[in-house]
């Protein structure tokens, strides 16, 4: 990857990698164990271009090229999956707000999000609408001064703990008129809805939540963009999210390679763990390598070790596979005979 990067991109990668290695990596194991997340670390990370990078400068973001956003996500994935996921979803929320928020919504939701003072969830998936997001069934019925929302969402990252969210729902009128999928800002401070976490094995420092809306009231001023424009807004963010996940996977693979290389080098030089049977007195480590790393050294040591091994004296009975049976019954086995 390094060869493909220009000077600015390499400088960004080196700077963010150094920060993540020093400030974040030492915290990962404890947070994953405790299922907690250090939200206070996000604002300094945003200074590298996380979250702000996907928002145009005209909307208060950094407007970074996609290559730089990809590098940032690769480094986040190399450090910590839960961090990468959290940054990705905050970035998706910021993207939608950057594209569609009016002045009042930008002041109330986008600016605090980009400053790392408020955090948002992205609510698109439903139990029967995943890849086919257009099939979602959550409805927002129009009333005089807002919407009454009914339905549910699934797998919503970090909904437990976020201040607000973008809910994608189908706006309908009492007479059945369907205005299409629409983005609604749902602020936990003004709308009541159910949230519960579905614990999962990986990414333990994030929550994956089920949301339930049961006559939840959302003010009319919280519509993002126009009625019916929600699916294209949401899918634009999902497209960026897919790239982020892919780059996070590249970073995770890189971390696995580095870790396994480090572990195998350490294993070569470390003593046997005291808990293994092989640590008993007299046990030897058959594969211990004293390779110097010089080209060809492993091969020459191996051949000299082989030649130093005394040749095994020929068996008086000859090779096992061709020996004839010594049983009194005289079978004609050509394999070692149990008798």
Ligand X SMILES: Cc1cc2nc3c(=O)[nH]c(=O)nc-3n(C[C@H](O)[C@H](O)[C@H](O)COP(=O)(O)OP(=O)(O)OC[C@H]3O[C@@H](n4cnc5c(N)ncnc54)[C@H](O)[C@@H]3O)c2cc1C
125 binds ligand X (CB under 6 A): yes
Question: Among the candidate windows 52-60, 154-162, 290-298, 328-336, which touches ligand X by CB under 6 A?
Answer: 154-162
Question: Among the candidate windows 14-22, 45-53, 117-125, 182-190, which touches ligand X by CB under 6 A?
Answer: 117-125
Binder to ligand X among 44, 56, 104, 130 (CB under 6 A)? Answer: 130
Please list, residue by residue across 145-166, b when 16 or more beta carbons sit within 10 angstroms of its beta carbon and e when fewer do.
ebbebebbbbbbbbbebbebbb
Pick between residue 19 and residue 88 the one whose CB is nearest to ligand X.
Answer: 88
For residues 63 and 114, the answer to whether their CB atoms sit within 8 Å is no
Considering only residues 317 to 336 of the shown chain, the ones binding ligand X according to CB under 6 A are: none
- Using alpha carbons, list the distances in angstroms from residue 135 to 172, 181, 235: 15, 10, 13
Q: Cα separation of 86 and 267, whole Å?
A: 34
Q: Is 325 helix (H, G, I), strand (E, B) or coil?
A: coil
Closest CA to 123 of 225, 222, 238: 238
Binder to ligand X among 155, 228, 267, 289 (CB under 6 A)? Answer: 155
164 binds ligand X (CB under 6 A): no
Binder to ligand X among 24, 51, 72, 89 (CB under 6 A)? Answer: 89
Binder to ligand X among 49, 60, 123, 165 (CB under 6 A)? Answer: 123
298 binds ligand X (CB under 6 A): no
- Using alpha carbons, list the distances in angstroms from residue 331 to 214, 321, 323: 83, 14, 12
CB of 156 to ligand X, least distance (A): 5
Residue nearest to ligand X (CB): 130
Which residues in this chain contact ligand X in the complex, by CB under 6 A?
Answer: 89, 122-125, 130-131, 155-157, 203, 208
């Amino acid at each position: 990857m390094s060869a493909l990067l220009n000077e600015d991109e390499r400088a960004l990668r080196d700077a963010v990698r150094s920060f993540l290695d020093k400030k974040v990596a030492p915290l990962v194991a404890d947070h994953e164990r405790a299922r907690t997340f250090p939200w206070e670390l996000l604002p300094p990370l945003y200074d590298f271009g996380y979250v702000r990078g996907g928002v145009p400068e005209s909307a208060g973001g950094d407007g970074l090229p996609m290559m730089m956003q990809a590098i940032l996500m690769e480094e986040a994935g190399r450090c910590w999956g839960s961090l990468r996921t959290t940054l990705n979803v905050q970035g998706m929320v910021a993207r939608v707000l950057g594209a569609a928020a009016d002045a009042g919504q930008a002041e109330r939701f986008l600016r605090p999000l980009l400053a790392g003072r408020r955090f948002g969830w992205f609510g698109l998936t439903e139990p029967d609408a995943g890849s086919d997001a257009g099939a979602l069934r959550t409805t927002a019925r129009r009333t005089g001064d807002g919407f009454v929302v009914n339905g549910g969402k699934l797998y919503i990252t970090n909904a437990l703990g976020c201040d607000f969210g973008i809910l994608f729902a189908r706006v309908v009128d009492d007479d059945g008129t369907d205005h299409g999928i629409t983005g609604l800002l749902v602020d936990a401070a003004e709308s009541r809805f159910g949230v519960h976490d579905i614990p999962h094995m990986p990414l333990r420092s994030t929550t994956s939540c089920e949301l339930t809306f049961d006559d939840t009231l959302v003010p009319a001023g919280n519509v993002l963009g126009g009625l019916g424009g929600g699916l294209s807004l949401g899918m634009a963010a999902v497209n960026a999210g897919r790239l982020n996940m892919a780059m996070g996977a590249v970073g995770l693979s890189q971390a696995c390679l580095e870790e396994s290389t480090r572990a195998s080098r350490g294993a070569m030089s470390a003593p046997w763990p005291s808990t293994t049977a092989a640590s008993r007195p007299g046990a030897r480590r058959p594969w211990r390598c004293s390779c110097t790393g010089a080209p060809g050294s492993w091969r020459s040591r191996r051949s000299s070790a082989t030649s130093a091994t005394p040749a095994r004296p020929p068996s008086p009975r000859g090779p096992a596979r061709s020996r004839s049976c010594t049983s009194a019954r005289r079978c004609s086995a050509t394999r070692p005979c149990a008798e």
